[in-house]
Structure 1
Amino acid sequence: MSQTITVEGMSCEHCEQTVEDALEGVEGVESVDVDRDAKRATVEGAAETQALVSAVDIAGYNASA
């Protein structure tokens, strides 16, 4: 299953990596593709959407489903 969430506040490659690392730490995530220019992260796997949003928020960015 694929999910895309909106991520605000990324301005550099380090930001992308931080968001990717946060999402990869969520149970059920199989892969992550983060695009700062498009302000989104696409996640493959069975993770719950709210868990993804929470992980990004905890990492210091603003996420929404």
Structure 2
Amino acid sequence: MDEIVTLPDEAIFEALLWVMSRCKLVVEGAAAAPVAALLNGLVKAPGGSKVVCVLSGGNVDLDQLRGRAWN
């Protein structure tokens, strides 16, 4: 492991919604965290490089998504 980043819950929730909107996938917060790190510029990748995020897990409360609330 080269690096660890921390994210606020809201950034993860926004990434979760981004994945749903752009990729048409339902993922849980843990799966959205790497996407949040990339979207918020916390992980640097050399220009032109290919980046892979493993989107694993769909354990998300749909009622929370409907109300756009995050606990």
Question: TM-score if structure 2 supplies the norm length?
Answer: 0.35
Question: TM-score if structure 1 supplies the norm length?
Answer: 0.37
Q: If you compute each CA radius of gyration, which structure gives the higher value, 1 or 2?
A: 2
Return the structure number with greater relative CO, CA threshold 8 A, min gap 6: 1
